[in-house]
């Protein structure tokens, strides 16, 4: 009906009729961009300030895991990243004494505040990884830990009286330490990254990059498609050109951890904290946790009664293919 009135009506009848509004099109109209300056200030841009206030009030969680053989500088690097003693370092490092028989997983929480914003940081250490003679399947306890955190979150999420803010213990980022001496990835490195990239964001780093020669560094670069960050960690400060900087003193001079001519620590720090922290959290939630959740809810039917997470409440969710972290 294009004209609005049927053609058979008389003139009299027509004069009494108030024209009907035209039927609205079913398709939503494209939003038209309006220059709000012309019409006066609305206040849309205050959302940024509102979000900022909210983050200031609630703070945020960030959970970072470190994996790699003992002595590669994991604790030192995490302390360097957050400029504080967030990971315990053995005071006099003794390889023999420190190595546990199996992979242990230890989570230590801290609150770090900067500019009025509180970060609840949890550092998850995995001493013992890769330290045994036979390191077959030593990634398993780590994968188990990561999945246990997803399970905890899922249990909270499906609870009828669920909390407004579910405590987030999920691992948002896993720094994987590659030995600087191997010239390339060892089978253990490949195994770990192959299995764990399905469940967590992995950022590979070449540890103790100050111990590599330039040739070794470029050899590593040629072998890998994308170079893992070659990093140096330190908790000692030195005076360089009138400024105090974190560095390592060597017979050839001071290696400054934040100097890009010396190592790629600053790139790693910028990526993990300054540009992609929110992204790491979102990928954890939207991809890794979502994959776990879909699989878990689908599998639930197979669990014995009582152990079932949900009973019969939720319908099965289609499983999404396992995405890998970039």
Return residues touching ligand GDP (CB under 6 A). 70-76, 89-90, 93, 208, 210-211, 232-233, 248
For residue 200, the 8-state DSSP code is: S
Q: Which is nearer to ligand GDP, 70 or 135 (CB)?
A: 70
CB contact set of 49 (below 8 Å; sequence gap of 6+): none
Give the residue from 89, 165, 157 showing the smallest Cα distance to 120: 165
Q: Which stretch binds Mg ion (CB under 5 A): 16-24, 46-54, 67-75, 223-231?
A: 67-75
Q: Which does 208 bind (CB under 5 to 8 A by kind): Mg ion, ligand GDP, none?
A: ligand GDP
**Cα gap 169→122, rounded to integer Å:** 8
Task: Please count the CA atoms within 13 angstroms of the CA of 3 that sit on its side-chain side.
Answer: 5
Nearer to ligand GDP, 5 or 93 (CB): 93
Helix, coil or strand: residue 323: coil
Sequence-separated contacts (24+) of 254-257 with Cβ below 8 Å: 255/210, 257/80, 257/231, 257/232, 257/233
Question: Edge-to-edge strand order for the sheet containing 237-240?
Answer: 237-240, 243-250, 253-256
Give the Cα separation of 154 and 290 in Å (integer): 10
Q: Which of the stretches 29-37, 39-47, 72-80, 296-304 binds Mg ion when contact is defined by CB under 5 A?
A: 72-80
Residue nearest to ligand GDP (CB): 73
**Chain residue whose CB lies nearest Mg ion:** 75
Q: Which entry of ligand GDP, Mg ion, none binds 233, CB below 5 to 8 A by partner kind?
A: ligand GDP
Q: How many CA atoms lie within 13 A of 55 on its CB side?
A: 15
CB 81 within 8 A of CB 235: no
Residues 6+ apart with CB under 8 A from 111: 59, 118, 119, 120, 121
- Please choose which of Mg ion, ligand GDP, none residue 72 contacts, taking the beta carbon within 5 to 8 angstroms, the exact cut-off set by kind: ligand GDP
Determine the length of the chain: 326
When CB distances are held under 5 to 8 angstroms depending on the partner's kind, the choice from ligand GDP, Mg ion, none that residue 76 binds is ligand GDP
Of 127, 135, 152, give the one whose Cα is nearest residue 65. Answer: 127
Nearer to ligand GDP, 170 or 208 (CB): 208
Question: 246 contacts which partner out of ligand GDP, Mg ion, none, CB within 5 to 8 A by kind?
Answer: none
CA torsion through residues 218, 222, 224, 227, sign: positive
Footprint of Mg ion on residues 94-153 (CB under 5 A)?
Answer: none
Radius of gyration of the chain, Cα coordinates, nearest whole angstrom = 28
Q: How far is the CB of 280 from ligand GDP (least distance, A)?
A: 21
Residue number with CB closer to Mg ion (174 or 297): 174
Residue 154 or 272: the one with the smaller Cβ distance to ligand GDP is 272
Rank residues 196 and 257 by Cβ distance to ligand GDP and give the closer one: 257
Nearest residue (CB) to Mg ion, 123 versus 212: 123
294 close to 318: Cβ distance less than 8 angstroms: yes
Shortest separation between residue 77's beta carbon and Mg ion, angstroms: 9
319 binds, among Mg ion, ligand GDP, none (CB under 5 to 8 A by kind): none
Which of residues 75, 80, 126, 179 is near Mg ion by CB under 5 A? 75
Q: Taking CB within 5 to 8 Å according to partner kind, which of ligand GDP, Mg ion, none is near residue 118?
A: none
Contact range with Mg ion by CB under 5 A, out of 70-78, 115-123, 187-195, 220-228: 70-78
74 versus 172: smaller Cβ distance to Mg ion: 74
Distance (Å, rounded) from C-alpha 51 to C-alpha 44? 12
Interface positions with Mg ion (CB under 5 A): 74-75
């Amino acid at each position: 009906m294009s004209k609005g009135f049927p053609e058979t009506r008389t003139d009299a009848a027509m004069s009494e009729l108030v024209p009907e509004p035209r039927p609205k099109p079913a398709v939503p109209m494209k939003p038209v961009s309006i220059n709000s300056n012309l019409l006066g200030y609305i206040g849309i841009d205050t959302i940024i300030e509102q979000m900022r206030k909210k983050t200031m009030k609630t703070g945020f969680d960030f959970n970072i895991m470190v994996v790699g053989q003992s002595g590669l500088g994991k604790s030192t690097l995490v302390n360097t990243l957050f400029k504080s003693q967030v990971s315990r370092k053995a005071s006099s490092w003794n390889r023999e004494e420190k190595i546990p028989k199996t992979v242990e997983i230890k989570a230590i929480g801290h609150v770090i505040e900067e500019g009025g914003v509180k970060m609840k940081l949890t550092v998850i250490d995995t001493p013992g990884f890769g330290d045994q003679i036979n390191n077959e399947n030593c990634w398993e306890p780590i994968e188990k830990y990561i999945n246990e955190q997803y399970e905890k979150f899922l249990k909270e999420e499906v609870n009828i009286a669920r909390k407004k803010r579910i405590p987030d213990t999920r691992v948002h980022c896993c720094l994987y330490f590659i030995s600087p001496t191997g010239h390339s990835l060892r089978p253990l490195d490949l195994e770990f990254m192959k299995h764990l990239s399905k469940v967590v964001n992995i950022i590979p780093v070449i540890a103790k990059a100050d111990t590599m020669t330039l040739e070794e560094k470029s050899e590593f670069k040629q072998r890998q498609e994308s170079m893992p960050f070659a990093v140096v960690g330190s908790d000692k400060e030195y005076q360089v050109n009138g400024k105090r900087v974190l560095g390592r003193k060597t017979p050839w001079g001071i290696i400054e951890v934040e100097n890009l001519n010396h190592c790629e620590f600053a790139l790693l720090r910028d990526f993990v904290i300054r540009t992609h922290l929110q992204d790491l959290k979102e990928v954890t939630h939207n991809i890794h946790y979502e994959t776990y959740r879909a699989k878990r809810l689908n599998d639930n039917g197979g669990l014995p009664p009582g152990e079932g997470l949900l009973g019969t409440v939720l319908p099965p969710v289609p499983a999404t293919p396992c995405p890998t972290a970039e």
